[in-house]
Amino acid sequence: MAEEIRIVLRNYGKIDPLKIDDYLAIGGYEALIKARSMDREELIEEVKKSKLRGRGGAGFNCGQKWAFAYGAQADQKYVVCNADEGEPGTYKDRIIMENDPHTLLEGMAICGYAIGANKGYIYCRGEYPQVTQILNTAIAQAKEKDVLRDFDIEVKSGAGAYVCGEETALIESIEGNRGEPRIRPPFPPVSGLWQKPTIVNNVETFANVPVIVDKGADYYASIGAPAYPGTKVVTLTGDVNNKTFFEVPTNTTIREVIFQFGGGIPGDRKFKAVQIGGNSGAFISADLLDTPIAFDAMTSIGSALGSGAIFVLDETRDIVDVITRVAKFFEDESCGKCAPCREGTARMYELMEKLNSGQGSANDIVLLNKLGRVMSYSCLCGLGQAAPTPVLTTIERFSADYNAKLM
Amino acid sequence: MSYKEILASYKDVPGGMIEAFHAIQGQYSYLPEETIIEAARVFNLPVAKAYEVATFYSMFSVNTRGKNVIRICESAPCHVAGAADVVAALERELGIKMGESTSDGKFALELTECVGQCQATPVITVNGKVYLDVTPAKIPDILAEYK
């Protein structure tokens, strides 16, 4: 029987998030003191050795990323926290920030020391004004207690743009511009915010860092799947009994997440499909439920763990209708910078609407497949590259739903 | 505070135009044309550039809209939980369609993508305040808070 392990949510419900004294009383900011007593290279090596990988979706080795920024020569470097969680069905970063904001500040300050940055930004989505207030309170208290010393943190608010979850679009938005992704390279650890070396990590990634420093890389690396160790906070939505969040070790299977933690499907209905990782995730059929949620296991079944959103559909759901909605999302959220995404997401939605209204033909499905493949390798950023995934995976795995709606 | 004073207070904030626009909308509910022109002047940018920013983000509006902005999430988890029924109820109750404002200037109706409150769908927000597990039956009471 799989069990929850709380690392990033270790203080959930145990402290008053608006009182720094509560956080300090349970050993808060001691990891930062320990980190600052370490040699910078030794600290980065420890984070590398923990095999902590980015929890925002890309799964890059966190310590390796820090090493790039550490090695870059510049008069100024930045630490940026990506708190622009916009994947439908995802609210894990909000849970972390609402309940334990100092964990995030501490993780960022450790990163700041490691790479030699004295300035941090938290880019918090515009839909979370209450979280921005909590973060500002926490920052003010941390300044008053002088726990961050020379490391300064500022909250920047987004204004409703899913694409700003892409790190270079996020950087553009902090600079006050339209949130359009940059052409890479250069990557942010070399040239990011205001052209300075910048680390952009997700909220959940930073929240792991104090534990790694406190308990050591070996402890962390021993939890969950060896190549993607630690835990993942998952949020369950759709046709599932427990629509809530859980923090589970990364070797937990999809089946355990849905049927054990999630309590299964409501009523006597059967499972039909699950989309993991948000709107750009693959739809997974029943035969793949014993796959662990770990990054590489998900990749091996043509899926992605992404943000950890778990969207469950029961047997009564019409896949084509749901995918049409998903396709509209990408048409709405495409930033318009590159043609394959701007045009592709619009045509994809158009074709899905045609199929969903019973006006589509088998040839439209062929067209969708072709369009999706082209977008997956020609779009500039992850938004456009991943937008076709739900369409392509459902055409492959749930063809009966499509065929039932053909003209 | 006048919009000129608001913008002046963000003049020295690097990348401050987005925050300034939030503050202006807090007063006007949208971004009147003169505020965009003034923003361009304050941040030393072409007007086109300020307009680009104002029109990129879904929370900003360059058109007049009602004082209380109601946003209904239409992302997949809310969609399967019955968001369309909530949309219909709001349109019926206010006598306007999505994207429109009431003639008394009190309410604006907008569709939005995920607002990150997916533990209790469908979800709507009014001026950023979150309402969970919304049903058509709950709409009159929610609107009454703002009348």
Q: Which residue of chain A is at minimal alpha-carbon distance from B116?
A: A91
In the numeric block, which tokens belong to residue A405?
Answer: 């709606």
Binary contact (A159, B22; C-beta < 8 A): yes
Residue A88 has its nearest CB partner, among B43, B53, B114, at: B114
Assess whether B51 and B99 both reside in one domain. Answer: no
- Per-residue pLDDT tens digits for B111-143: 999 999 999 999 999 999 999 999 999 999 999
Q: Per the domain annotation, does B12 fall within a domain? A: yes
A315 inside 8 A of chain B by CB: no
Q: Which domains does chain A show, CATH number per domain?
A: 20-222 (3.40.50.11540), 230-314 (3.10.20.600), 319-404 (1.20.1440.230)
Whether A86 and B114 lie within 8 Å, measured CB to CB: yes
CA dist A196 → A112, A157, A193, A199 (Å) = 14, 21, 5, 10
Q: What is the DSSP string of A206-256?
A: HHHHHHHHHH-HHHHHTSEETTEESEEEEEEEES-S--SEEEEETT-BHHI
A342 near B CB under 8 A? no
Helix, coil or strand: residue A59:
coil
CA–CA distances in Å: residue A59 to residues A54, A308, A348, B11, B16: 4, 12, 28, 38, 31
pLDDT tens profile A299-336: 999 888 999 999 999 999 999 999 999 999 999 999 99
Domain-located, residue B109: yes
Interface contacts A/B by beta carbons within 8 Å: 122
Which candidate from A125, A130, A178 shows the least CB-CB separation from B53? A178
Contacts of B45 (CB under 8 A, 6+ apart): B17, B39
Quick one: which of A398, A395, A397, A373 has its CA closest to A384? A373
Tell which residue, A34, A32, A31, A61, has the closest CA to residue A48: A61
pLDDT of residue A390: 97
Say whether residue A85 is in contact with chain B using an 8 A CB cutoff: yes
**Could you say which of A179, A311, A333 has the minimum Cβ distance to residue B113?**
A333
CATH number, position B107: 3.40.30.10
**Residue B74 and residue B134 in one domain:** yes
CA distance to partner chain A, nearest, from residue B84 (Å): 11
Chain B residues close to A356, C-beta within 8 Å: none
Q: What ipTM is given for this predicted complex?
A: 0.96
- The range of the structural domain enclosing residue B12 comes to 3-56
Contact residues, chain A, for B74 at CB < 8 Å: 325, 328
Please report, for residues A34, A66, B30, B34, the alpha-carbon distance to residue A42 in angstroms, rounded to integers and kept in the order given: 12, 12, 51, 54
User: Do B17 and B51 sit in the same domain of this protein?
Assistant: yes
At A8-59, the pLDDT tens digits run: 999 999 999 999 999 999 999 999 999 999 999 999 999 999 999 999 888 8
* B96 and B129 both lie in a single domain: yes
Residue B61 lies in a domain: no
A322 close to B (CB below 8 A): yes
Q: Is residue B115 part of a domain?
A: yes
Q: Inspect the interface and report whether the beta carbons of A91 and B60 lie closer than 8 Å.
A: no
State how far residue A265 is from chain B, nearest Cα, in angstroms: 14
Which single residue is written with the structure tokens 């709001």?
A: B90
List of chain A residues whose C-beta atoms are within 8 Å of the C-beta of residue B14: 175-176, 194
B12, B80: one domain: no
Whether the CB of A90 is below 8 Å from some CB of chain B: the reply is yes
Q: Is residue B19 part of a domain?
A: yes
> Could you tell me if residue B86 is inside a domain?
yes
pLDDT per residue over A91-120, tens digit each? Answer: 999 999 999 999 999 999 999 999 999 999
DSSP character at residue A53:
B
Considering the domain architecture, whether residues B76 and B36 belong to the same structural domain is answered as no
Q: Is residue B62 domain-resident?
A: no
Same-domain status, B120 and B91: yes
Which chain A residues contact residue B131 at CB under 8 A? Answer: none
Of residues B74, B75, B119, nearest to A243 (C-beta): B119
**B140 and B81 within one domain:** yes
Q: How far apart are CA A282 and CA A276, in angstroms?
A: 7
Cβ contact, residue pair A88, B118, below 8 Å: yes
> In whole angstroms, what is the distance from residue A337 CA to residue A169 CA?
11
Q: Above 80 in pLDDT, residue A1?
A: no
Q: What percent of chain A has pLDDT over 90?
A: 97
Other Cβ atoms within 10 Å of B138 Cβ, number: 15
Token representation of residue A380: 């500039």
In chain A the first and final C-alpha atoms are separated, in Å, by 47
* Cβ atoms of residues A127 and A88 within 8 Å: no
Chain A (130-169) residues lying within 8 Å, Cβ to Cβ, of chain B: 130, 156-162
Query: Over the stretch A344-384, which tens digit does the pLDDT of each residue have?
Result: 999 999 999 999 999 999 999 999 999 999 999 999 999 99
Same domain, B126 and B78: yes
Beta partners for residue B112, in sequence order:
B73
In chain B, how many domains are there?
Answer: 2
A143: CB partners within 8 A, 6+ apart: none
Do B49 and B87 sit in the same domain of this protein?
Answer: no
Edge-to-edge strand order for the sheet containing A283-284? Answer: A245-249, A231-238, A309-314, A271-276, A283-284
Judge whether B40 lies within some domain. Answer: yes
Between A160, A313, A317, which is nearest B57 by CB? A160
Kindly report the number of other CB atoms within 10 A of residue A152's CB atom: 15
Convert the pLDDT of each residue in A148-190 to its tens digit: 999 999 999 999 999 999 999 999 999 999 999 999 999 999 9
Same domain, B35 and B85: no
Of B27, B56, B85, the one marking the end of a domain is B56
Please judge whether A88 and B119 are an interchain contact, meaning their C-beta atoms are less than 8 angstroms apart. no
Q: Percentage of chain A with pLDDT > 70?
A: 100
Bridge partner residues of A311 (DSSP): A237, A275
Residues B72 and B138 in one domain: yes
Nearest 5°: phi and psi at A272? Answer: -115, -50
